[in-house]
Amino acid sequence: MSEHAIAEKSAQQLNDEMLSSMCTPTWRWYGLAFFLGAVVAWGLSAFAYQVMTDMSVTGLDRPVMWGIYIANFVFWVGLSHSGTMVSAILRLSQANWRRPILRAAEAMTVFSITIAGLFPVIHLGRNWAVYYFIPYPNQRGLWPNFRSPLLWDATAITTYIIGSSLFLYLGMLPDLAVVRDRSTGWRQKLYAVLAMGWRGTAREWVVFRKASTLMAALIIPVAVSVHSIVAWDFAVTVIPGWHSTIFPPYFVIGAITSGVAAVITLMIIIRRIFHLEEYLTPLHFDNMGKLLLVICLLWSYTYFVEVQTTWYAHEPIEWEVFSFMSGKYTPLLIIMLIGNSVLPVTGLCFKKVRRSVRAMLVITAMVNVGMFIERYLIIIPSLSHKNMPFVWGTYSPSWVELSVTAGAFAGFTLMYTLFAKFFPMVAVTDVRELGHRHADIRLGRAEVHSITEEEG
């Protein structure tokens, strides 16, 4: 929507349109929530079956002791970079087109990191003993081993869950106040508590703006460190194909790719469902498309570097891992390269493609399919063909692991569905602020539209 149109609509009309997702749920919403709940329940029961029986119900064996659960873990951590990168970076660079996108991106971060945090518990052989990880004074005479990358994971994910939840909540504070003012009954009480008595005084806005900027600046290094730490789970080992110094930057770039693509996909979906066509315009998709193009180019670069150095040095066991992967998983490899590299880089160069919602949906969905495959192809082939050829093995996920994966996807979507119903899906006050900063100025012979910049 152009700033003109925002300035012309009344505040109430803007509120009505942007908060339309929070109306009384329709039978369609209940149907969706019920279906997703059923898939989650299926995933949970598969997990319960695994805990009650033993780990033989998975497809894991020696030597492939990490499988699709860890692929899921890395994928969901990667997806959690969506909100941080999109929201925080765009806030700090003061890009005005970020405004309708922020909330969706930040919510996506919180939900995907929550799902990601479940997988380290799911993949344990003795899940009930997971409290051994927690550093608290105890009578066992042992603290957890902080030299282990898994403990760095635990620390980083805790920090990121707390940080991104607070980031989401902070951004929502003024919007929650608007919702509080418009609701009645139990909802009014709920939002009144959440809004913490926000009134929108000038002073509150000053502090709020500075806090948002500070949080955006703080959350970006956390996000970079989280995925670097996940990358170190692999990079600090002696496993051929994993022991590579490019892994941390490679994983961070992969995460941003995954996240930006997912935000675009989500934008398309919520735009359609909540009739936000005037707020999420082709301009927004154009700009996000450019962002995605750049980041896919970076991903292609890092992947090329990774393969090229393996090929050139041709260390026998490393090359063996790569040729095993490209030989056994050729279809997956091709889909990955098309999804992450060929399709986005060629397609997104064209403005027509970027502005077409349909094309963007296809491209971004393919990017995420490609990214999931990429995680799988990093983890499993390296473990399959390790250093001692006598114990080379294979792996394919079992129905239990696939059910839990499906449950995770459904859980994420369900959380999103619930969130959209109870919380403002578009950053209402942020979008309205644009209208306050807009003015048509007569300059020479034309009437130019201008936007006041935010204070420094």
Partner 1 sequence: MEKITSPYKWGMIVDLDRCTGCGACVVACQAENNVAICAKKEMAQGRNMHWLRIERFWVGEYPDVRVRFLPVLCQHCHDAPCEPVCPVYASYHNPDGLNGQVYNRCVGTRYCGNNCPYAVRVFNFYDHEHAWPPPLDNQLSPDITVRPRGVMEKCSFCIQRIRRAKEDAKAEGRLIRDGEVQPACAQTCPPEALVFGNMADPQSRVSRLARSPRRFRLLEHLGTHPSINYLKGGGREHV
Partner 2 sequence: MEALGTFSDVETANRAVERLVKAGFAEKTITSLTSAPYPDGVLVKTDQRTWFRWMSLGGGIFGACAGFLLAAGTAYMYPVQTGDKPIVALFPAGIVTYELTMLFAILGAIVGMFLEMRLPPRRERVYDPAIGDGSIGISVSTTSGSESNRAASIMKEAGAIRTIAEGNP
The alpha carbon dihedral of 78, 281, 89, 214 has a sign of negative
From 9, 32, 61, 249, residue interacting with partner 1 (rule: CB under 8 A): 61
Helix, strand, or coil (residue 440)? strand
Whole-angstrom distance, CA of residue 57 vs CA of residue 397 = 10
Site for partner 2 in 240-279 (CB under 8 A): none
Tokens of 90: 């765009």
136: contact with partner 1 by CB under 8 A = no
196: contact with partner 2 by CB under 8 A = yes
Tokens of 306: 């990774």
45: contact with partner 1 by CB under 8 A = no
62: contact with partner 2 by CB under 8 A = no
313: contact with partner 1 by CB under 8 A = no
State the alpha helices, DSSP H only, in 27-148: 27-52, 68-79, 81-83, 89-92, 102-122
Residue 18, amino acid: M
Q: Between 11 and 48, name the residue whose CB sits nearer to partner 2.
A: 11
| Candidates 38-46, 55-63, 160-168, 354-362; binding stretch for partner 1 (CB under 8 A) | 55-63
239: contact with partner 1 by CB under 8 A = yes
Q: How many CB atoms lie within 10 A of CB 355?
A: 16
From 94, 148, 245, 330, residue interacting with partner 1 (rule: CB under 8 A): 148
Whole-angstrom distance, CA of residue 339 vs CA of residue 366 = 5
Q: Where in 146-199 does DSSP place strands (E)? A: none
89: contact with partner 2 by CB under 8 A = no
Among candidate residues 429, 100, 399, 397, the one with its CA nearest the CA of residue 274: 100
The alpha carbon dihedral of 293, 72, 263, 246 has a sign of negative
Site for partner 2 in 137-156 (CB under 8 A): 141-143, 145-148, 151-152, 155-156
Question: How many residues line the site for partner 2 (CB under 8 A)?
Answer: 64
| Candidates 109-117, 277-285, 341-349, 429-437; binding stretch for partner 2 (CB under 8 A) | 429-437
Residue 263, amino acid: V
Among candidate residues 432, 428, 429, the one with its CA nearest the CA of residue 8: 432
Q: Between 207 and 283, name the residue whose CB sits nearer to partner 2.
A: 207
The least CB distance from residue 72 to partner 2, in Å, is 22
The helix (run of H) or strand (run of E) holding residue 98 is: none
Question: How many residues line the site for partner 1 (CB under 8 A)?
Answer: 43
According to DSSP, the residues that pair with 438 across neighbouring strands are 451
Name the site residues for partner 1 (rule: CB under 8 A): 53-56, 58, 60-63, 65-66, 120, 123-127, 129-130, 132-133, 142, 144-145, 147-151, 154, 233, 236-239, 383, 386-388, 390-391, 393-394
Name the site residues for partner 2 (rule: CB under 8 A): 10-12, 14-15, 135, 141-143, 145-148, 151-152, 155-156, 158-159, 162-163, 166, 170, 174, 177-182, 196-211, 214-215, 218-219, 221-222, 225, 229, 428-430, 432-433, 435-437, 452, 455
